[in-house]
Amino acid sequence: MIRSIALITLALAAAPLLAAPGGNYAEREAGRALLERLEGVDGVNIDAARALLAEAEYQPEIVEKMRTPAERTLTWGDYRPIFLQAERAALGADYIAAHREIFDRVADETGVPPHIVAAIIGVETKYGRVLGNDRVLDALATLAFDYPERSDYFTRELEGFIRLCVEESLDCDREVGSYAGAMGQPQFMPSSYRAYAVDGNDNGRRDLWEEPADIIASVANYLAEHGWERDARVALPAWVGDADQIDGIERSEREPAYRWDALRGLGIRVDAPPADDARVGLLEFDGAHGTEYWVGLNNFFVITTYNHSPLYAMAVYQLSQEIAAARQDAEG
């Protein structure tokens, strides 16, 4: 027994210790490795990067939020009323009216309609009214170094954020966003900001907090770059023509699983069906009044590249329809 305890003690002493959460992230092993990578990047002041990383603070509640996101715990019946309200649709219609020239130009260039862009901004931040409460620096550092489930991903995002601080002159020690590190009115992650944000007013900067031209053009550019089809539909309400086959049909979340003619052959019906060779997916939601079936088209799945949850994509689509209706009402 004594020998066993001694062996266990020796084994524990020899085992590498896991880093305690928090502390000075610039001095953690992973933090030093990140700074070493940044040292070879043109335009990055490594002393400023080190000082910024040292300022990041561990936020344990962010890790808890990541492990229980709303999309994993809410049904469509719960999720829909969070984003589908007459007030939000009216705000979206007003937002389009206030920036009509920008929206019209962007729609001509990208093919993404104004009500879709406005719906995304409305769902993400209610047109800048709800930008998030977590300092982006803290969120990304916490998740990069103290959320092992997705450490690699968030380390890349943290590195991208530090580079953005230099490239875009962001106020990095003050900017707030979501608990996952998403930023600005459209809630771009740093990698998306660097890849898809657009200088919509040609002033030499991409400002997704304050500049409507940049915000609107950036959302549309993101969707266009991910395959948005001009003048195409998003989703169609569906019903089951053959109840015996429904259990055998694959449900889609992030990509279509069938051609329409194949899904129709399995008993799914819609009004005004798409072309036989259209790629589609069957969507199933637990709504407030029972199960809802929808057929998602290409543009629905493009929205899921912005946020992977089908609940999110459906909320954006339905809010976009309400915004379009509110615009029609306002215009008579």
Residue 311: give its domain's CATH number. Answer: 1.10.530.10
Please report whether residue 22 resides in a domain: no
**Residue 161 falls inside a structural domain:** no
| Type of residue at 5 | I
Catalytic residue among 27, 124, 292, 322: 124
- Rg of the chain over all Cα atoms, to the nearest angstrom: 23
| Residue 287 covered by a domain | yes
- How many domains does the chain divide into? 1
- CB 55: neighbour CB atoms within 10 A? 16
β-bridge partners, 50: none
Residue 253 lies in a domain: yes
Task: Tell me, yes or no, whether 267 lies in a domain.
Answer: yes
Report if residue 277 sits inside a domain: yes
pLDDT at 15: 38
Q: Which helix (H) or strand (E) holds 280?
A: strand 279-287
Evaluate whether 206 touches 198 at the Cβ level (below 8 Å).
yes
The residue ranges of the chain whose pLDDT is under 50 are: 1-18
Active site residue 167: no
Specify if 142 maps to a domain: no
Is residue 199 a part of any domain in this protein?
no
Domain assignment of residue 286, given as a range? 235-331
